[in-house]
Amino acid sequence: MLLDIVILPPKLTRSKVGKKIQSVAKKYPHLYIVDNVTLIPHLSLFHLRVSKTKLKKLERVVEAIVQKYKPFRLKSVRFVRYSKDTVLHFRISKPAILTELNREIAEKCRKFRDGELFIWYKNSPFSKLDRLYIKKYGSYWSVERNFDPHLTMVRYKTPSDGAKMLKKMAKFRFNFSADTVALCEINKHGQVYKILKQFKLK
């Protein structure tokens, strides 16, 4: 199974950003839109490949970690894209408590992983640091220095359409209480399509 342990925004926030991105993004050719219908807005904490036999043990570890944290506020900072890539996302604030939660989740849950997240890792160029993270965690996404809190929202087919989208979304902002961590299934693009289990921060 391909999984992501995430901060799951409240239903109203997911609906708000999903409707907004759908209304703007659908006008341009795209590979996917995180519209809160087929794909769910989320803030990734740790991606991993895991067998179903380990799922219950993983759930117990995540629940034990989450119970040590109190809810905290997060806000969107700006709408950006990855360099010249066609993936666009909301960059999210990064309070110390979020960084600590990410670190603890990654450190205590990596023992459950079964190999690398995606097979294309072996055939793609990576930096020395990213390769170290892949060896340690099975993925270089959202771990240690690579932890950059965000909500991925859309992937276009051409960079020019992404540039148009940036202008249309420049003033859109939101904030929410981070009070739920969830264990979710992801697709080959690393996007959440199914929520398996939710855990409330105490």
The domains of the chain, with CATH numbers, are: 2-26+39-75+93-147+176-200 (3.90.1140)
pLDDT band at 137 (very low <50, low <70, confident <90, very high): very high
Q: Give pLDDT, residue 101.
A: 98
Predicted pLDDT at 123: 60
Read off the pTM.
0.94
Amino acid at 149: P
124, pLDDT greater than 90 = no
C-alpha 117/C-alpha 23 separation (Å) is 32
Predicted confidence at residue 28, as pLDDT, reads: 87
Q: In what order do the strands lie in the sheet with 43-49?
A: 43-49, 2-7, 180-186, 192-200
Write the CB contacts of 58 (distance below 8 Å, at least 6 apart in sequence): 3, 50, 109, 112, 183
Compare 160 and 47 and report the one with higher pLDDT: 47
* DSSP 3-state of 18: helix
DSSP letter string, 125-188: ---HHHHHHHHHHS--TTSGGG---EEEEEEESSHHHHHHHHHHTTT---EEEE-EEEEEEE-T
Per-residue confidence (pLDDT) for residue 119, from 0 to 100: 59
CA distance 20 to 27: 12
1-33 pLDDT, tens digit per residue, is: 999 999 999 999 999 999 999 999 888 899 999
For residue 85, the model assigns a pLDDT of: 75
pLDDT of residue 84: 64
What pLDDT is stored for residue 82 in this prediction? 76
pLDDT tens, 46-105?
Answer: 999 999 999 999 999 999 999 999 999 999 999 998 766 789 999 999 999 999 999 999
Note whether 177 and 70 are within 8 A (CB): no
What integer is the mean pLDDT of 165-178? 94
Task: Evaluate if residue 120 carries a pLDDT over 60.
Answer: no
Res 159 pLDDT > 60: yes
pLDDT of res. 26: 87
Q: Which long-range contacts (CB under 8 A, 24 or more apart) does 76-80 make?
A: 76/151, 76/172, 76/173, 76/174, 76/175, 78/170, 79/153, 79/166, 79/169, 79/170, 79/172, 80/166
Beta-carbon contacts of residue 120 (< 8 Å; ≥ 6 apart)? none
Say which residues have a Cβ less than 8 Å from residue 160's Cβ, sequence separation at least 6: none
Q: Which band of pLDDT confidence, cut at 50, 70 and 90, is reported for residue 127? A: confident
